[in-house]
């Protein structure tokens, strides 16, 4: 299964639209995960209509309609891999410990992978409890990064494989 990870699209505030490259990745994915800060309901509607399957959450810049439609935490199991999605995990310092407490093997709802956003800075690490933490960055608002980014990955044989940070230049 091919997965596309997005976050912090901030449309139409930071950009007028997603790049054609990002739409091609949406078309190729079996599952699109968006970790919040859509800003515009039209972006959710467009992704829902185009993605084979979409899982998303609302972020701190999203209004009441997005929060009502999406909520702040999402969970999906893909071929035996438990994926949780939230927008914000807090500061980088202590992130693994905090995420283990909420999503690790001893938590009430353990996950194998946690997709998050908020910082616009790509992140890929594994907690001591074994939770893979992934932040795809932002395709439209690069902040301190050289270019915008998304992530792609594959799920096969009950595991996440081939996590790739994909640059999304404008």
Sheet containing 31-34, strands listed edge to edge, beginning at the edge strand earlier in sequence: 54-56, 31-34, 2-6, 149-156, 159-167
DSSP calls for 88-107: ----STTHHHHHHHHHSTTS
Q: How many CA atoms lie within 13 A of 82 on its CB side?
A: 9
Percent of the chain predicted with pLDDT > 70: 100
Q: Domains for the chain: give ranges and CATH numbers.
A: 2-167 (3.60.21.10)
pLDDT tens sequence for the chain (170 residues): 999 999 999 998 878 899 999 999 999 999 999 999 999 999 999 999 999 999 999 999 999 999 999 999 999 999 999 999 999 999 999 999 999 999 999 999 999 999 999 999 999 999 999 999 999 999 999 888 899 999 999 999 999 999 999 999 87
- The pTM assigned to this predicted structure is 0.96
SS3 call for 84: strand
Looking at residue 143, its pLDDT comes to 84
């Amino acid at each position: 299964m091919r997965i596309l990870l997005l976050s912090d699209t901030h449309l139409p505030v930071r950009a007028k639209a997603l790049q054609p490259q990002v739409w091609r990745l949406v078309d190729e994915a079996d599952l699109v995960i968006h970790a919040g800060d859509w800003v515009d309901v039209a972006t959710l509607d467009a992704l829902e209509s185009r993605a084979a399957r979409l899982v998303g959450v609302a972020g701190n810049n999203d209004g009441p309609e997005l929060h009502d439609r999406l909520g702040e935490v999402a969970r999906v199991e893909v071929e035996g891999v438990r994926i949780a999605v939230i927008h914000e995990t807090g500061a980088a310092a202590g992130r693994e410990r905090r995420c283990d407490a909420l999503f690790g093997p001893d938590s009430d709802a353990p996950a194998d992978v946690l997709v998050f956003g908020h910082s616009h800075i790509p992140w890929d690490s594994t907690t001591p409890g074994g939770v893979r933490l992934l932040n795809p960055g932002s395709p439209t608002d690069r902040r301190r990064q050289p270019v915008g980014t998304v992530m792609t990955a594959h799920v096969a044989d009950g595991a996440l494989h081939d996590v790739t940070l994909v640059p999304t230049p404008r």
